Amino acid sequence: RKEVEQDPGPFNVPEGATVAFNCTYSNSASQSFFWYRQDCRKEPKLLMSVYSSGNEDGRFTAQLNRASQYISLLIRDSKLSDSATYLCVVIEGGGGNKLTFGTGTQLKVEL
């Protein structure tokens, strides 16, 4: 089983739609969680951290469910510029350095 699993998509949605991605992780000791965005042939860029209580940044809402070991990302009012691959990233606890990336979910926002 992969450490971090995501539905690869692609998710094709019309502009203005709301779309949600889920990510599951296998290590219950994982401590830190992030969503990164990666554009085609570019490096990943931090979109937002994910906190236990859930957090929102503009049109983006992230949630964490430790009991079920999944993380979600909700994008409201999607824009054409949101088209990218969204990577779920997990850091294990115990002072570990290692970022473990999911394979990413591809989003295509269309007119």
Partner 1 sequence: GAVVSQHPSRVICKSGTSVKIECRSLDFQATTMFWYRQFPKKSLMLMATSNEGSKATYEQGVEKDKFLINHASLTLSTLTVTSAHPEDSSFYICSARGAGGVQETQYFGPGTRLLVL
For residues 88 and 6, the answer to whether their CB atoms sit within 8 Å is yes
Cβ closest to partner 1, residue 1 vs residue 41: 41
**Cα–Cα distance measured from residue 20 to residue 100, given in angstroms and rounded to the nearest whole number:** 21
Q: Is 95 in the site for partner 1 (CB under 8 A)?
A: yes
Closest CA to 85 of 4, 11, 2: 11
Instruction: Report the Cα 17 to chain-centroid distance in Å.
Output: 17
Site for partner 1 in 28-57 (CB under 8 A): 32, 41-46
Binding range to partner 1, per CB under 8 A, among 18-26, 55-63, 71-79, 89-97 = 89-97
Q: Is 86 in the site for partner 1 (CB under 8 A)?
A: no
Q: Is 96 in the site for partner 1 (CB under 8 A)?
A: yes
